[in-house]
Amino acid sequence: MIVLDAIIPLPPMWCPRDACARRCVLLLSTHMHAENLYELEKKDLDKAVATLKDAFQDDPVWNAVFRDDPNIDKALTGFFAIPLLYGMKFGKAYATSEQLEGVAVWVPGEKSSMGFLRLIASGAVSYGSRIGSVSMKNLSTLAKQLEPDRKRIMSGKSYTYLTVIGVGSEYQGKGYGSTLLKKITTECDETNRYLYLETESEESVRFYERHGFRTEQKIVVSHIDVPMWQMIRPPNAR
């Protein structure tokens, strides 16, 4: 997830509900096409947040980050609302359909770090207050480990940052995740941009490799002892 410099550092999210392989089928479903995706609006925020909370309910990183929060549901609502609103304003936020079976947010690399003024402009600034202090500290620690690596890896490159992608549990394994990813990779190919993400499972790594990604670096998140892979996809990679 993108990083809010001014209020709350938020690291990236890439592995909703255990692993991408469980939420994304390897081949696109014949009835879904990337060009027919639904562009999210602010009226969709509550439903989009619910989709991401469902998709990430078993994720080891976010379970560790938020486990001591006094109101986990409230904290997660704020946590997921921020990138959605930010993406609507400064990047792209799409769902597979108006039913929001799956959602994804991506932003230009030059806007991947959130500042206070951008948060205000996106309407996301108030959502940070929903996250408890312990969870906030965990997020800050994680972001401080991830963001410098991203800036170093992507230095000098024109790129897009895939900040979050998730599919609701009842829709996993039906091609929704792959359809969302196809939309993003096609856009990057057409604009000659790299695509960057982090993920935390070997299954997810294999999934992304099949979509043209390669691993630049594997790290272990120090305070929660969870591995993460920093991956990039060059333009027109296969």
133-158: pLDDT as tens digits: 999 999 998 989 999 999 999 999 99
- The crossing angle, in degrees rounded to 10, of helices 72-90 and 133-153 is 40
- Count the Cβ atoms, other than its own, within 10 Å of residue 131: 26
Mean pLDDT of the chain: 87
User: Residue 112 CB: number of other CB atoms within 10 A?
Assistant: 24
The torsion angle over the Cα atoms of residues 58, 125, 46 and 139, rounded to 10 degrees, is: 0
Q: Token pair of 129, please? A: 């207050």
- Residue 18's pLDDT is 40
Q: Establish how many alpha carbons lie within 13 A of residue 27's alpha carbon, considering only the half-sphere containing its beta carbon.
A: 3
Phi and psi at residue 87, to the nearest 5°: -65, -40
**Residue-level pLDDT at 77:** 97
- Cα atoms in the 13 Å half-sphere on the side-chain side of 136: 15
Asked: is 3-233 a CATH 3.40.630.30 domain? The reply is yes
Look at residue 32 in the predicted model and tell me its pLDDT.
54
Res 47 pLDDT > 90: yes
Q: Report pTM.
A: 0.86
- The answer on pLDDT for 6 being more than 70 is no
- 16-25, 85-94, 194-203: lowest mean pLDDT where? 16-25
